[in-house]
Amino acid sequence: QSVLTQPPSVSGAPGQRVTISCTGSSSNIGAGYDVHWYQQLPGTAPKLLIYGNSNRPSGVPDRFSGSKSGTSASLAITGLQAEDEADYYCQSYDSSLSGLYVFGTGTKVTVL
Amino acid sequence: QVQLQESGPGLVKPSQTLSLTCTVSGGSISSGSYYWSWIRQPAGKGLEWIGRIYTSGSTNYNPSLKSRVTISVDTSKNQFSLKLSSVTAADTAVYYCARVFSRVGATGGGHFDYWGQGTLVTVSS
């Protein structure tokens, strides 16, 4: 049902860099709508990680960065740490019948 | 610091109506230009947006749920509520309430900057 597609899982060793892709379409990301990212630690509510494609809320480490191009967006985590092990979701706005707010399928990040 | 807290029954029978309330603290629900939303997450699955309400009472719903959803706001109690009718087991999920923030210059409907802790609702007889 999710309109935005993410890889189910990515993994990396501590200190490495990992990226998560978020692929949409012409009715959401491709239409120029902002992409936002959320981190969900096990058993907790999602937490805003990146807003407006590449902006970090106060308190989010600069190890997290976001970008957007065309119909896709990416989240990069550099200097991977054990506490980064979580589920990550992208979110955007959709002008079709999919609903105003659409989320990605989610990506599980595993720190090896 | 804005805080949101969901409340309501954790168990609902099939075909009945699910009712949840989100209480906002740390600020007035009427202050600022915010929408207030409900989002749900079945166990082990992704996030699904349910709908949003503005403090004027204006609402928007996910088309897939629109026929069964009603979101309302009570500014005197600093609360907004969700009603989902004719529930089935497929509606079993953790339900979150969240604030929608749309910054100046943003494109799209904004992002969810504050979330409640979530409440599990199970649909079962």
pLDDT in tens, A59-72: 999 999 999 999 99
Nearest of B125, B102, B88, B11 to residue B54 by alpha carbon: B102
Q: What is the pLDDT of residue A29?
A: 95
Say yes or no: B44 contacts chain A, CB-CB below 8 A. no
The residue assigned the tokens 């970090």 is A56
Mean of pLDDT over chain A: 95
Q: CB under 8 Å to A104, separation ≥6 — which residues? A: A2, A4, A5, A6, A22, A89, A90, A91, B46
Residue in chain B closest to A99 (alpha carbons) equals B62
As a whole number, mean pLDDT of residues B90-114 equals 92
pLDDT digit string, tens, across residues A72-105 = 999 999 999 999 999 999 999 999 877 789 999 9
Check CB contact under 8 Å for B107 and A47: no
Give A-chain residues touching B46 at CB under 8 angstroms. Answer: 2, 89, 103-106
As a whole number, mean pLDDT of residues B35-46 equals 97
Compute the nearest-CA separation of A17 from chain B (Å): 24
Q: What is the pLDDT of residue B32?
A: 79
Q: What is the pLDDT of residue B104?
A: 78
